[in-house]
C-alpha cells in the first residue's frame, strides 16, 4: 500500500486551503492488526497527517473510514 508516499507527494501539490481525501483508513477494523502490512501503512499515513501542524484533519468512521484534511499553511 502506497498511502504514505501518496500523502507525501500530495503535500507538495496541495495548495493552502486545499483538501485531500483518503479512503479505507480503518480497513474494516484491521487497521489495529500489528501484523498486517497494509494496516501498518495506514497507521503510518494517519500518524503523518495527525502530527503535521500544517494540517487540519478529520477521520470519519463511515464504512472503512475516510480521512479528510485541509492544508492550513
Q: What is the domain count for the chain? A: 1
> What is the Cα–Cα distance from 18 to 41, expressed in whole angstroms?
23
- Kindly give, in sequence order, each residue whose CB lies less than 8 Å from that of residue 49, ignoring residues fewer than 6 positions away: 7, 55, 57, 67, 69
pLDDT at 22 over 90: yes
In this prediction, residue 36 carries a pLDDT of 86
Report the pLDDT averaged over residues 53-63.
Answer: 95
Burial class (CB in 10 A: 0-12, 13-18, 19+), 49: buried
Q: Give residue 64's domain range.
A: 3-71
In this prediction, residue 27 carries a pLDDT of 87
Amino acid at each position: 500500500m502506497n498511502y504514505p508516499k501518496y500523502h507525501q507527494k500530495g503535500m507538495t501539490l496541495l495548495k493552502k486551503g486545499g483538501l485531500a481525501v483518503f479512503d479505507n483508513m480503518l480497513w474494516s477494523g484491521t487497521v489495529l492488526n500489528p501484523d498486517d502490512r497494509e494496516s501498518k501503512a495506514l497507521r503510518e499515513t494517519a500518524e503523518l497527517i495527525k502530527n503535521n501542524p500544517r494540517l487540519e484533519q478529520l477521520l470519519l468512521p463511515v464504512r472503512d473510514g475516510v480521512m479528510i484534511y485541509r492544508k492550513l499553511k
